[in-house]
Amino acid sequence: MLISVHDLETVVRAAGAIALAHFNDLKNLAVNKKSPRDFVTDADVAVEAFLKAELTQKYPEYGFWGEESGQSADQSARWVVDPIDGTHSFSRGQYFWSISVALEIDQELIIGAVFAPALGDYYTAVKGKGAWKNGSPISVSSESHLADAMVATGFACLRSYLPDNNLDRFARIAQSTTGQRRFGSAAMDLCLVADGQVDAFWEQELNLYDVAAGALIAQEAGATVTDFQGNKGIFPKQILVTNGKILDQILPLM
Ligand code: IPD
Ligand code: CA
Ligand code: CA
């Protein structure tokens, strides 16, 4: 069945209302740890259960892959969902968290939505058609000097077990740029590049559900998505997203 951005928006906004109800009642939120630095709350589980039920009932031809419930049905054409990206921020009452939903068919991203309910920002994109924030078209920044750039990164929750923990890379890039941010939601980080609010974002050890929707939104807004060597494509274990103009300057620092 053909999916319109509007049909998807209705479902994602309803999921946002479920998340917000929990966000506005944090003292009753059950927060558990999946591993020492990886959180899951009642809200993550409830939002994913809603999205899975709605999307698989409305679009039975597509399978589902969500962070909390795993993979079910056909995985060649599937919804890729992070019910709350930025759970740690969410659980502390901070506003930077989002719901991320993408449709992927034969390894190609077709449509993506990232909704930040506490900020009131809804980002979406359709392959080959562009990217929008709250209904208006968006595009990447025009910054062409790395020295003047504002960049964002994240530190995967598994970092302490990794030989490369991103700290050296962050130090190198911080010394070569004007502004550095750590927002705490990779899906949102990608949308901020798409919207020209930051000029580049990178992170390691992410999963496809963290970046699928945001990467399509970034690409459709004119961003270049590569790995740390500059190979084009979406590589969640090593993702670098830039406005394209500073790519050659940031790559040697990666
Ligand atoms: C996390 C966020 C965060 C990133 C972590 C992710 P979660 O996702 O995207 O910004 O630094 O690596 O795991 O666990 O809140 O869905
Ligand atoms: Ca995530
Ligand atoms: Ca999550």
Ligand 1 within 6 A of 214 CB?
no
Residue 232 DSSP one-character state: B
pLDDT under 70: residue ranges of the chain? 1, 157-160
Ligand 1 atom with the shortest distance to the CA of 182: 10
Question: Is the same domain home to 247 and 163?
Answer: yes
Question: Is the same domain home to 44 and 83?
Answer: yes
Question: Is the same domain home to 74 and 131?
Answer: yes
What is the rounded CA–CA span in Å between residue 52 and residue 56? 6
What is the rounded CA–CA span in Å between residue 108 and residue 231? 17
In this predicted structure, what is the pLDDT of residue 149? 98
Please report the beta strands in the chain, taking only residues with DSSP state E, as ranges in sequence order: 31-35, 38-41, 63-66, 70-72, 77-85, 98-105, 108-116, 121-126, 130-133, 136-137, 150-153, 179-181, 200-204, 224-226, 238-242
Boundary-marking domain end, from 97, 112, 137 = 137
pTM attached to this predicted model = 0.97
Question: Is the same domain home to 25 and 133?
Answer: yes
- Report the separation in Å between the CA atom of 161 and the middle of ligand 2, taken as the mean of its atom positions: 18
Ligand 1 within 6 A of 154 CB?
yes
**Is residue 130 helix, strand or coil?**
strand
In this predicted structure, what is the pLDDT of residue 159? 64
Ligand 1 within 6 A of 184 CB?
yes
- Report the separation in Å between the CA atom of 164 and the middle of ligand 1, taken as the mean of its atom positions: 17
Boundary-marking domain end, from 137, 168, 187 = 137
Question: Is the same domain home to 185 and 237?
Answer: yes
Question: Is the same domain home to 153 and 133?
Answer: no
Element containing residue 12 per DSSP (H, E): helix 5-23
Residue 160 DSSP one-character state: G
- Domain around 174: 146-253
Question: Is the same domain home to 181 and 154?
Answer: yes
Ligand 1 within 6 A of 81 CB?
no
What is the rounded CA–CA span in Å between residue 204 and residue 229? 13
The total of structural domains in the chain comes to: 2
Longest dimension (CA), the chain: 50
Ligand 1 within 6 A of 47 CB?
no
- Report the separation in Å between the CA atom of 185 and the middle of ligand 1, taken as the mean of its atom positions: 6
Phi, psi (deg, nearest 5) at residue 88: -65, -45
List the CATH number of the domain containing 100.
3.30.540.10
Boundary-marking domain end, from 104, 137, 170 = 137
User: 38 has which bridge partners?
Assistant: 35
Question: Is the same domain home to 70 and 153?
Answer: no
Question: Is the same domain home to 50 and 73?
Answer: yes
In this predicted structure, what is the pLDDT of residue 73? 87
Question: Is the same domain home to 47 and 127?
Answer: yes
**Is residue 212 helix, strand or coil?**
helix
In this predicted structure, what is the pLDDT of residue 157? 67
